[in-house]
Chains A and B, each alone.
Chain A
Amino acid sequence: MHNHTIAELAAGLKAKKFSSKEITEAFLKRIKELDNKLNSFITVCEEQAHKDAQIADAMLAKGNAKPLTGIPIAQKDIFCTQGIKTTCGSKILDNFIAPYDATTITHYKQAGAVLLGKTNMDEFAMGSSNENSFYGPVKNPWDLNRVPGGSSGGSAAAVAARLAPGATGTDTGGSIRQPAALCNLTGLKPTYGRVSRYGMIAFASSLDQGGPMARTAEDVAMMLGVMAGFDTKDSTSVDKPVPDYTATLNDSLAGIKIGLPKEFFNAGLDANIAKVIEAAIKEYEKLGATIHSISLPNCELSVPAYYVVAPAECSSNLARFDGVRYGFRCANPKDLEDLYKRSRGEGFGAEVKRRIMIGTYALSAGYYDAYYLKAQKIRRLISDDFRQAFSQVDFILGPTSPSTAFKIGEKSNDPIKMYLSDIYTIAANLAGLPGMSIPAGFVDGLPVGMQLLGNYFTEARLLNVAHGYQQVTDWHKKTPENF
């Protein structure tokens, strides 16, 4: 059962080969048996999953099922789930029972999907290795000594180990694409504003975007159809119709123009990864694509600019965690200031505190122009680079990550080294563009992801380009040996 893709499970449910109850029980059983090796779930929602499966089976029996009805989905623990613990990977929210559902959760409920559980993540989505979680690191199912990537590391590990057929992630600087690459998954970060941020605990509001992670582009297309859409509760949600992302998956790729940014293939890239990406480019040529060399000259500044913009926005967003209205409160506060300071100091982990302080500094009197304003200007230059590139090509292709999955502990004492894990993914967030990572091969038994970036709101075409590649390759079908 667990080897089926979402599309296969959905077809089986429709044909009454099995019930949602059977699927749900099969995945819950796998989580019980195997997740002690991975630590990919913070909360397993067994009771809720059984209830959801019952509702789904009734919908299926009545004949009013939707594409994802009865499919178990794991939700990143950044999405608020009413009545269910929602921690964002932090001690400060360890006792937080969300009083409402995120719009993404509401959409999955309306679609008849089953809530399997809440997945582990870097605290407040800040990290590229899932080592920053209050609930402990997540292990990569391809090698248990290595990280699954982050911040959506729990979602990636769970889907790669087939403890769930699909999971949600969020991507502020690469947090869907990088773990997808390190765990051999297909993941999509939509255009900023495509998926509602309501009830998705905020990290950097002008960059955060939720999206799907699964094994195939087809599954991702099915999930995106549920997640995307206008939401009046999110003031930056974009009011554009949602196409049927599965309808155009098989369109021809003949004549598409793919750009290779020379900055993505420079000395910083591992030579073995470069070989894998070059082989993928050849496949696209066979599918009828033309390849063009392009330049994104300001992209090398995307990581520095990001580490001003994201911390600045996080220092403001995370001010809400004050030990008064919800979440962790320190013991025996001597006055109000002590209550704030110790609740936050004891409730947040080291990386979150670093970023809050960097952001506070960058926004403080006398430094605003030198840091925040400067970073916003660089952001404009990066966005203009993409505008220029997309006047020449339809898609941009390159590696998702400069290395394969690294060892647990390898980068955890060097913040800058860790930040550079996202060197190829961050620019898309600064510009608000959609991007995907898809499995492209292996180096020393570890998965390599290829990144595809598209122009604003080209998710359907991006999925088509990913799906076309997956019809002629089988990298996405490889699964880790011990799971």
Chain B
Amino acid sequence: MSLTAVEVKKIAHLARLAINEADTPKYVSELSTILDFVAQMDKVDTGSILPMAHPLDVTQRLRADEVTEPNQRELFQSIAPSVESGLYLVPQVIE
């Protein structure tokens, strides 16, 4: 499985990762090698096998619909990169 530079750039975009143009060939080769490696899975016919999403076959536990968390906005925003009037600041999105 060989990826192209275009595919690697698309994956990086989907993952919202900036990668340097100069590093692209390295990612192309490393990611292709890893995909080749995992392709060993194709040796086994898994047609009728049920996929296993979770090690213990349990159903998701639900809790009572009650408020359990206090409002800690100030504490949480004290570690944010940029905050004003209780809001997280990001570059302008809407013109």
Task: Please list the residues of chain A having a beta carbon within 8 angstroms of any beta carbon in chain B.
Answer: 95-97, 99, 192-193, 206-207, 232, 235-236, 238, 298, 301, 303-305, 307-308, 315, 319, 322-329, 333-342, 344-346, 348, 353-354, 356-358, 360-361, 364, 371, 373-381, 383, 415-416, 419, 430-433, 456
Query: Is B44's beta carbon under 8 Å from chain A?
Result: yes
Nearest Cβ distance between residue A39 and chain B, in whole angstroms? Answer: 26
Q: A207-B55, A323-B81 are in contact. List 18 more A-B contacts (CB 8 A).
A: A99-B78, A192-B55, A192-B56, A236-B56, A304-B37, A304-B39, A315-B15, A319-B16, A326-B79, A328-B81, A335-B92, A348-B17, A364-B11, A373-B51, A381-B44, A381-B46, A381-B49, A432-B56
User: Which residue of A is nearest B15, CB measured?
Assistant: A360
Contact between A415 and B30, CB atoms less than 8 A apart? yes
User: Which residue of A is nearest B82, CB measured?
Assistant: A329
24 interchain pairs (CB within 8 A)?
Answer: A99-B79, A232-B63, A236-B58, A238-B56, A305-B41, A307-B37, A307-B38, A315-B15, A322-B16, A326-B76, A326-B79, A327-B81, A339-B90, A341-B17, A341-B18, A342-B18, A356-B17, A357-B11, A357-B17, A357-B31, A358-B34, A361-B3, A364-B11, A381-B46
Contact between B37 and A235, CB atoms less than 8 A apart? no
Q: How far is the CA of A346 from the CA of B50 in the complex (A)?
A: 40
Specify which of B8, B44, B60 is in contact with A357 (CB 8 Å cutoff): B8
Please provide the chain B residues from 1 to 38 with a CB less than 8 Å away from any CB of chain A in the complex.
Answer: 3, 8, 11-19, 27, 30-31, 33-35, 37-38
Contact between A376 and B18, CB atoms less than 8 A apart? no
Nearest Cβ distance between residue A350 and chain B, in whole angstroms? Answer: 9
* Chain A residues closer than 8 Å to B52, beta-carbon distance: 376-377, 379-380, 383
Contact between B17 and A353, CB atoms less than 8 A apart? yes
User: Which residue of B is nearest A365, CB measured?
Assistant: B14
Query: Is B67's beta carbon under 8 Å from chain A?
Result: no
Q: Top 3 A-B pairs ranked by shortest CB distance? A: A432-B55, A345-B18, A376-B51
Query: Is B40's beta carbon under 8 Å from chain A?
Result: yes
User: Which residue of A is nearest B88, CB measured?
Assistant: A324
Contact between A374 and B81, CB atoms less than 8 A apart? no
Contact between A236 and B35, CB atoms less than 8 A apart? no
Q: How far is the CA of A274 from the CA of B43 in the complex (A)?
A: 28
User: Which residue of B is nearest A297, CB measured?
Assistant: B44
Contact between B93 and A336, CB atoms less than 8 A apart? yes
* Chain A residues closer than 8 Å to B15, beta-carbon distance: 315, 344, 356-357, 360
Contact between B51 and A380, CB atoms less than 8 A apart? yes
Contact between B44 and A345, CB atoms less than 8 A apart? no
User: Which residue of B is nearest A354, CB measured?
Assistant: B30
Q: How far is the CA of A339 from the CA of B31 in the complex (A)?
A: 25
User: Which residue of B is nearest A193, CB measured?
Assistant: B56
Q: How far is the CA of A206 from the CA of B49 in the complex (A)?
A: 19
Nearest Cβ distance between residue B62 and chain A, in whole angstroms? Answer: 9
* Chain B residues closer than 8 Å to A322, beta-carbon distance: 16
* Chain A residues closer than 8 Å to B55, beta-carbon distance: 192-193, 206-207, 383, 430-433
Q: How far is the CA of A303 from the CA of B37 in the complex (A)?
A: 9
Task: Please list the residues of chain B having a beta carbon within 8 angstroms of any beta carbon in chain A.
Answer: 3, 8, 11-19, 27, 30-31, 33-35, 37-44, 46, 49-56, 58, 60-61, 63, 72, 75-76, 78-82, 88, 90-93
Q: How far is the CA of A327 from the CA of B82 in the complex (A)?
A: 11
Which residue, of B16, B33, B42, has the highest number of chain A Cβ atoms within 10 A? Answer: B16
Q: How far is the CA of A375 from the CA of B53 in the complex (A)?
A: 10
Q: How far is the CA of A11 from the CA of B92 in the complex (A)?
A: 62
Specify which of B31, B38, B75, B78 is in contact with A371 (CB 8 Å cutoff): B38
* Chain A residues closer than 8 Å to B39, beta-carbon distance: 304
A324-B81, A380-B52 known; A358-B35 Cβ under 8 A: yes
Contact between B37 and A339, CB atoms less than 8 A apart? no
Specify which of A333, A376, A416 is in contact with B33 (CB 8 Å cutoff): A416
A357-B27, A364-B11 known; A375-B41 Cβ under 8 A: yes
Contact between A326 and B40, CB atoms less than 8 A apart? no
Contact between A374 and B46, CB atoms less than 8 A apart? yes
A324-B80, A377-B49 known; A341-B16 Cβ under 8 A: yes
Specify which of A327, A342, A371, A378 is in contact with B44 (CB 8 Å cutoff): A378
* Chain A residues closer than 8 Å to B93, beta-carbon distance: 335-336
Nearest Cβ distance between residue B20 and chain A, in whole angstroms? Answer: 8
Contact between A360 and B11, CB atoms less than 8 A apart? yes
* Chain B residues closer than 8 Å to A235, beta-carbon distance: 60-61
* Chain A residues closer than 8 Å to B61, beta-carbon distance: 235
Q: How far is the CA of A206 from the CA of B52 in the complex (A)?
A: 10
* Chain B residues closer than 8 Å to A319, beta-carbon distance: 16
Q: How far is the CA of A432 from the CA of B18 in the complex (A)?
A: 35
Q: How far is the CA of A337 from the CA of B33 in the complex (A)?
A: 29
Nearest Cβ distance between residue A283 and chain B, in whole angstroms? Answer: 31
Q: How far is the CA of A305 from the CA of B42 in the complex (A)?
A: 10
* Chain B residues closer than 8 Å to A99, beta-carbon distance: 72, 75-76, 78-79
User: Which residue of B is nearest A95, CB measured?
Assistant: B79
Contact between A304 and B40, CB atoms less than 8 A apart? yes
Nearest Cβ distance between residue A160 and chain B, in whole angstroms? Answer: 30
Contact between A364 and B14, CB atoms less than 8 A apart? yes
Nearest Cβ distance between residue B27 and chain A, in whole angstroms? Answer: 7
* Chain A residues closer than 8 Å to B72, beta-carbon distance: 99
Contact between A353 and B19, CB atoms less than 8 A apart? yes
User: Which residue of A is nearest B10, CB measured?
Assistant: A364
